[in-house]
Structure 1
């Protein structure tokens, strides 16, 4: 089981549904959320700026990322994340979770090594079962 996933989506209902499905299916113990890419980056900034002397909590192993969001979309988040944080937590992988039907989005997602899957909304237990079979996650299950 994965310890922590991070869901970034502007739709509150999608975030609640993801939390329920992820926990109920035994995919992850903890789910954290952000409502746009800017909030997602702020979470990572705060995570890496913590100066306490105790051990740092584990980062999320998987980021479920929506593409079409206000303030900062998924692609912009991904670019900033890659520049600032990806090398510091190379075990964290990204799964695009989107309702897009634009073929360009699928092609673009394939250009990123960190993106391990592209799932159409809504997130389902079946979709998570398939994701558990991903070579880059099978050590968790």
Structure 2
């Protein structure tokens, strides 16, 4: 059973260096077809709210990497809002919380959301990214 490469990956994070590094790794390893970046949860929620209203699901990401600590709307607020619109999305989205926090309370809180696949600690390694995209055997 062959795994198809995710079409669209969404990274929601305000750290420019992290964004540059992770984007380069994903692109250089050809882990997905396209990357879209949002600097805070509000930008991402506004985007998702608008695409949920449209019938074509091709702009809905396959994978979301969500930071917790951001300005305007943090990751926790994003998750609360995302829960409200996720039911209207006709496609499975795999969401990973990615944070530098190793606080067990943050990890447990993130994993308590049904929409969260896993909690990953920054910095992400190439192997961790390959595993997310199911290319761990390369």
- Taking structure 1 as the reference length, the TM-score comes to 0.83
Maintained 8 Å contact 1:21/1:124: no
The structure 1 residue matched to 2:17, chosen from 3, 13, 24, is 13
Cα separation, 2, equivalents of 1:94 and 1:16 = 20
Give the drift of 1:15: 1.4
Q: 1:126 to 1:80 in 2, by over 3 A?
A: same
Asked if residue 94 in structure 1 is aligned to residue 98 in structure 2, the reply is no
Q: 1:89 to 1:56 in 2, by over 3 A?
A: closer
Asked if residue 32 in structure 1 is aligned to residue 33 in structure 2, the reply is no
2:75 aligned partner: 74
Asked if residue 3 in structure 1 is aligned to residue 7 in structure 2, the reply is yes
Aligned length: 132
Q: Report the more deviating stretch, 75-84 or 87-96.
A: 87-96
Secondary structure, counterpart of 1:2 in structure 2: coil
1:116 aligned partner: 117
2:58 aligned partner: 57
Secondary structure, counterpart of 1:83 in structure 2: helix
> Following TM superposition, where does structure 1 have runs of at least 4 consecutive aligned residues deviating by more than 4 angstroms?
none
Cα separation, 2, equivalents of 1:103 and 1:31 = 30
Asked if residue 44 in structure 1 is aligned to residue 29 in structure 2, the reply is no
- Taking structure 2 as the reference length, the TM-score comes to 0.84
Structure 1: gaps of 5 or more residues = 135-141
Give the drift of 1:35: 0.5
Give the drift of 1:20: 0.9
